[in-house]
Amino acid sequence: MRRLRCVWLCALGVLSVGQAAPPAVADDWPPTVVTHLATDHPWVALTFDACEAGERVRLDQGITAFLLAHQIPFTVFMGGRFARDNQDAVRELAKSPLVSIQNHSWSHPRDMRLLSDEAVRIEVSRAQTLLTEMTGKPPSMFRFPGGHADQRTVDLVRGMGLEVVHWRWPEGDPDPRIEAEALVSQTLERTRAGDILIFHINGRGWHTLEALPRLIEGLSARGFEWVLLDPTRF
């Protein structure tokens, strides 16, 4: 019953998009989806999703302030609606050379595999237009909401000139039951050279800010270096 209610409410965009369904895993995707950097260097890319479907959400400025203060570069996959509703904060964030803002669809559909070709293109191009105007830099990368993508949708997005960038394993930080301690320990245990870490920066990364200082300190102490996502590294 609880699951049915979630499916229904999530379809209406009533519940947080992050709670709608578990994120997809690398086995689900065609090989053209980037899941890690092509490198033996101990590079790690810190990425966040800024998702907004129905309910208006805010940029987590606790996270941005912490990372900027510690000179940690990070990439944000941002929805068009999210950018529209956080204009001042996003324009300010985009000025930093430590930050890259990339495309995460316009309205964060639960599953873009269910959309027509034309609807997929509109989701991508509408966000692309606004993000380009707001940041001054056209995004070169796209991340599917929830990671739900197949050969057709990936080919459509790549045909628009965007690399599709996901992750090797999800942190799961939209689940409030995953405490900061678990986020830190699973990250220190699982991270390998070239990994793309994914968290949420829309207020739905419940314990993310609490985990970040120990997580960053721990990986840095193990010799990992933080890099911005860049298609030359794929």
Both tokens assigned to 217:
């300190």
Query: Which string of x and - marks every residue 9-48 that binds Zn ion (by CB under 5 A)?
Result: ----------------------------------------
Residue 90 beta carbon to Zn ion: minimum distance, rounded to whole angstroms = 15
Q: Which is nearer to Zn ion, 73 or 146 (CB)?
A: 146
Both tokens assigned to 185:
């320990």
Q: Which is nearer to Zn ion, 145 or 172 (CB)?
A: 145
Query: Site residues for Zn ion, window 120-149 (CB under 5 A)?
Result: 145
49 binds Zn ion (CB under 5 A): yes
Whole-number Å distance between alpha carbons of 50 and 79: 6
51 binds Zn ion (CB under 5 A): yes
Residue 197 beta carbon to Zn ion: minimum distance, rounded to whole angstroms = 15
Q: Which is nearer to Zn ion, 183 or 219 (CB)?
A: 183
Q: How many residues bind Zn ion (CB under 5 A)?
A: 3
Say which residues have a Cβ less than 8 Å from residue 233's Cβ, sequence separation at least 6.
Answer: 37, 38, 39, 43, 227
Say which residues have a Cβ less than 8 Å from residue 183's Cβ, sequence separation at least 6.
Answer: 171, 173, 207, 208, 211, 215
Query: Site residues for Zn ion, window 145-164 (CB under 5 A)?
Result: 145
List own/partner pairs for 221-224 with CB under 8 A and 24 or more apart: 222/42, 222/188, 223/42, 224/42, 224/43, 224/44, 224/191, 224/193
Q: Which is nearer to Zn ion, 147 or 219 (CB)?
A: 147
Whole-number Å distance between alpha carbons of 228 and 42: 13
Interaction site with Zn ion (CB under 5 A): 49, 51, 145
